Amino acid sequence: MKWDIFCNVIDNFGDIGVTWRLARQLVAEHGQAVRLWVDEPAVFAPLCPQADPEADGQWQQGVEIRHWRRDWQPADAADVVIEAFACQLPEQYLAAMAARSDQPRWLNLEYLSAEDWISGCHGLPSFQPNGLQKAFYFPGFVEGTGGLLRETGLVERRQAFQADPEARRTFLEALGVELEEGALLVSLFAYENAALAGWLDVLAAGDRAVQLLVPVGRVLADLARWLGEDKLGAGARFRRGRLSIAVLPFVSQEDYDHVLWSCDFNAVRGEDSFVRAQWAGRPLLWHIYQQEEDAHWDKLEAFLAVHCRDLSPAAAGALTESWRAWNRGKGMGEAWTGLMAHWPELQSHAECWCGVQAERTDLATGLVQFCTKPL
Ligand code: TRH
């Protein structure tokens, strides 16, 4: 089947991060023909360093990437049309969809959430003014939702990498990171966060050496302030007490997976890195994307409720407190100490959680099944 996926970049990397990952998997594992329309190809390029940010059209890893320009040029409507995150399709394209002799499958791919109402709405159709049916496709963590993006063999590849210390060492060395004996390796991908300084104070003064890897991005200004530096860039290195810090370049999605797999603890954000950290099978900290009227707090609490179900009350409490502290921008130092008190339990829980999630149908497979069923 032919697929058109439309991605309107709102901000950051999550919108294109999710759609690029989905497009690749549809091609590589399901033999689908996929065009990915992105309105800001410059945001796509960092995730796929070989991409040309100026090109109107290009092929990357079997996916046709097209610059979605506001002055839309006529294009045939595909068999399956995905508007990511409720983006508005071009009028002419909607007309081309309606003009097809057979109805295209039309889906709105929604943002990921663990809220209860998701399973009630997943897959529901709605009739649109152009006479076509559009379905709402919700990724999620429980039965009755669309699942999570996960490539075939991902968990096995990750486990093999983690079982091979030499592979980890070689990967990190290529990024200019020398592993310190016995240090806890932590990655930090976050938005601006006032809780960072308190966390770093505790890490610097702690009993255990910590190596912090920080890809360039929005949290760097807070890090620079704590370090007393004007500006930070990839390659910068610092040491404060027991804490050493390395600023990493922004790497491809594949390499970022390896960063997550290499670390003992991953601070992630948004949607896609949040899911990838779960596949890494290591404890994580989620900086959720802030929404108007604090709607993100419901999402955060909903995920914590599902995620902490199999933890002891004490470990669940410590994990919950650290995520709340990080997201309210206060109290992360104390919360980290609390978290460390439950470290072994949190480690085994992260691997179990990954295993449970990996038993479910992945999002791309579910989508293909959904779209091949008759309307
Ligand atoms: O970048 P994000 O914050 O993205 C989003 C957007 O803000 C979006 O509008 C919002 O709705 C959504 O969050 C919830 O975080 P996310 O989703 O984790 O996307 C980051 C992408 O960048 C992800 O695909 C991983 C990738 N990445 C790399 O490829 N290399 C890197 O070095 C790093 C740090 C990330």
Residue 342's pLDDT is: 98
Residue type for position 146: G
Q: How far is CA 364 from CA 40, 137, 324, in A?
A: 23, 11, 31
**Where do runs of H (alpha helix) occur along the chain?**
14-30, 41-44, 91-98, 117-121, 154-162, 165-174, 196-205, 220-227, 253-262, 272-279, 295-307, 313-328, 332-340, 343-358, 363-372
DSSP state for residue 104 in the 8-state scheme = P
Instruction: Yes or no: say if 75 and 96 are a contact pair by the CB < 8 Å rule.
Output: yes
Strand partners, 247: 214
Nearest CA to ligand 1 atom 3: 270
Q: Which atom of ligand 1 is nearest to the CA of 289?
A: 14
What's the CA gap between 205 and 240, in Å, rounded? 9
> What is the whole-number distance in angstroms between the Cα of residue 181 and the centre of ligand 1?
31
Nearest CA to ligand 1 atom 27: 253
Domains of the chain in sequence order: 2-148+361-371 (3.40.50), 154-358 (3.40.50.2000)
Residue 202's pLDDT is: 98
Instruction: Yes or no: say if 194 and 329 are a contact pair by the CB < 8 Å rule.
Output: yes
* Angle, vertex CA 29, rays to CA 25 and CA 31, nearest 5: 100
Residue 245's pLDDT is: 98
Q: Which atom of ligand 1 is nearest to the CA of 273?
A: 18
> Residue 374 — pLDDT band, cuts 50, 70, 90?
confident
> What is the whole-number distance in angstroms between the Cα of residue 37 and the centre of ligand 1?
18
Active-site residue, selected from the candidate residues 4, 83, 257, 271: 271
Residue 87's pLDDT is: 96
> What is the whole-number distance in angstroms between the Cα of residue 140 and the centre of ligand 1?
17
> What is the whole-number distance in angstroms between the Cα of residue 257 and the centre of ligand 1?
12
Q: Average pLDDT, whole number, for the chain?
A: 97
Nearest CA to ligand 1 atom 28: 253
Residue 184's pLDDT is: 98
Residue 220's pLDDT is: 98
Burial label, 304 (beta-carbon count in 10 A; 0-12, 13-18, 19+): middle
Question: Helices then strands (H, E): number in the chain?
Answer: 15, 14
- Round to the nearest angstrom and report the end-to-end CA distance of the chain: 15
User: Best mutation site among 110, 252, 271 for ligand 1, i.e. most ligand atoms within 8 A of its Cβ?
Assistant: 271
User: Best mutation site among 11, 39, 248, 273 for ligand 1, i.e. most ligand atoms within 8 A of its Cβ?
Assistant: 273
Residue 19 reports pLDDT greater than 90: yes
Residue type for position 172: L
Active site residue 181: no
pLDDT digits (tens, 9 = 90+) for 137-147: 999 999 999 99
Least Cα distance to 332 among 242, 239, 200 occurs for: 200
Least Cα distance to 177 among 242, 253, 258, 231 occurs for: 258
Residue 81 reports pLDDT greater than 90: yes
> Residue 130 — pLDDT band, cuts 50, 70, 90?
confident
User: Best mutation site among 8, 9, 13, 220 for ligand 1, i.e. most ligand atoms within 8 A of its Cβ?
Assistant: 13
Quote the strand ranges of 144-253, DSSP E: 184-188, 210-215, 237-240, 243-248
Residue 215 reports pLDDT greater than 80: yes
Residue 90's pLDDT is: 97
> Residue 373 — pLDDT band, cuts 50, 70, 90?
confident
Q: Which atom of ligand 1 is nearest to the CA of 13?
A: 1
DSSP state for residue 142 in the 8-state scheme = S
pLDDT digits (tens, 9 = 90+) for 279-307: 999 999 999 999 999 999 999 999 999 99
Q: List residues near ligand 1 (CB under 6 A).
A: 10-15, 17, 47, 189, 215, 250-253, 256, 269-274, 289
Structure tokens at 254: 């594949």
| Single pTM value for the model | 0.97
Q: Which atom of ligand 1 is nearest to the CA of 189?
A: 34
Strand partners, 3: 34, 80
pLDDT digits (tens, 9 = 90+) for 320-370: 999 999 999 999 999 999 999 999 999 999 999 999 999 999 999 999 999
What's the CA gap between 117 and 31, in Å, rounded? 33
Residues 6+ apart with CB under 8 A from 137: 82, 107, 108, 109, 110, 122, 123, 146, 367, 370
Active site residue 56: no
> Residue 375 — pLDDT band, cuts 50, 70, 90?
confident
Burial label, 29 (beta-carbon count in 10 A; 0-12, 13-18, 19+): middle
